[in-house]
Structure 1
């Protein structure tokens, strides 16, 4: 009679020895994800109210713009040019894309609306409002064609936002100084996750649908 002998089980590695390896792997994964895929940002100012309030937290997709450029209506985080900053250490800005390269943007039409390539924007759903009323689209007139490789960006709280329309005013209509290079964009803010009671997806407003392509585009 032949008796099969089972191989002796290998001694199990104690968990305390595996823990440093697991922690190391987790840290590496977290670093890679933060550097290339997703990152959280907090909102330091009122420039995007009421869409985003001070100390809100958003999740930013850092990978999406490796495959395409930012689109109108998206909320983006970018490295602000030095002349945009009131504090040199305030590097990361968050704004809404209003115009892409080649777009003709005008403020304002007879109904006091910003137009992009001739289409008027209904910005009421996201412009800042309080008991005193809704922000104006802009406190200064502008007529600009967005230079190649650049974006026209504005905060939703226009009266408290250092953005393209503010730089247009400060630089006497310099289209380059009033826009940001696409290469400075960190990523797209796509969800407000904190506070949990205000959690929501940051979608593109419908007013940006159907904007014609820029002339010659």
Structure 2
């Protein structure tokens, strides 16, 4: 055997030369042509496994989004008319209240029932198993929540009313005519009866970490004003009219459905002129 024989490779006819790098062009001394070794195909998961994996990722993302960013709810009553009506679908965002942020006057918020504000049927939530799963991941409204507008925050004093029937917050009357339904009453005060306003009520200062909320449909809303103790009540517990701010889930930012009523929800400018509590 010569030195040339020892330095050469033995290749059978039709055999592809080996290459140390996949995809590297090599010469075939038998045919005299140049060939490229094909990279081995990457093994793919079966379709059913890919489907399960994608569903798992989607569920995790949905739970994360519901927990930290956005959640769906519906309007359970007529208490927020005319702006939000029964069965409207809304989205709330939670970012505004990150890092110790709290609701501001004029925000429309969704909050958990502070206790006894809702009848049992409204607190139960969905009973259908599919709806229950969807509620867990934020794709279906859950029960036990209310939607109201923030009228006062910690330290505020609220009273009814000036000579135009407007609520007074920290001594400043607020014109809510653009979004409040008086229901035949002569003022924007709470729970009017037979068109007459309860002009003798006053509440506050609101305790730290709490808010005072009212529905826009003032004559048809179970809200903070309904929980206030009246002079002739003997079993009322003072303070139940205030909602702990940590029960607030988020702020309504869009009316999503029905499509012909779609709109962004923003804080009315009239609340910007309210002075801080003295």
Whole-Å Cα distance in 2 between the matches of residues 175 and 76 of structure 1?
23
RMSD of Structure 2 on Structure 1 (CA):
2.3
The alpha carbon displacement at 1:136 in A equals 3.1
Alignment counterpart, residue 105 of structure 1, candidates 158, 179, 182: 158
Residues 80-117 of structure 1: CA deviation (Å, up to 9, x unaligned): 22232333753211100000000111111222211111
Measured in 1, the distance between the counterparts of 2:210 and 2:157 equals 13
Deviation at 1:170, TM superposition (A): 5.3
Q: In structure 2, which of residues 78, 86, 105 is the aligned counterpart of residue 46 of structure 1?
A: 78
| Map of 1:128 onto structure 2 | 181
Deviation of 1:213 after TM superposition, in Å, equals 0.9
The structure 2 residue matched to 1:137, chosen from 188, 192, 198, is: 188
Find runs of 4+ consecutive structure 1 residues off by over 4 angstroms.
1-4, 169-175
Aligned to 1:179: 242
SS at match of 1:136: coil
Secondary structure in structure 1 of the residue aligned to 2:120: coil
Shift of the alpha carbon at 1:175? 5.3
Distance of 1:156 and 1:129 partners within structure 2: 8
Larger Rg: 2
Alpha-carbon distance in 1 for matches of 2:270, 2:208: 24
Deviation of 1:59 after TM superposition, in Å, equals 0.3
Answering whether residue 251 of structure 2 is matched by residue 211 of structure 1, we say no
Is there any run of 5+ residues in structure 2 with no aligned partner, and where? 1-25, 28-33, 124-143, 193-197
Within a 5 Å distance, the mapping from 1:3-152 to structure 2 comes to 4-67=36-99, 68-87=101-120, 89-90=122-123, 91-128=144-181, 136-138=187-189, 139=192, 140=198, 141-144=200-203, 145-152=205-212
Preserved contact between residue 229 and residue 238 of structure 2 (Cα < 8 Å) = no
Aligned residues: 213
CA–CA distance in structure 2, aligned partners of residues 111 and 83 of structure 1: 33
CA distance in 2, matches of 1:129, 1:111: 12
More relative contact order, 1 or 2 (CA 8 Å, 6+ apart): 1
* Contact 1:50/1:129, CA 8 A, preserved across alignment: no
Name the CA shift for 1:174/1:110 in 2 (closer, same or farther; >3 Å): farther
More strand by share: 1
Verify the 8 A CA contact 1:116 1:211 in the aligned structure 2.
yes
What TM-score results when the alignment is normalised by the length of structure 2? 0.70
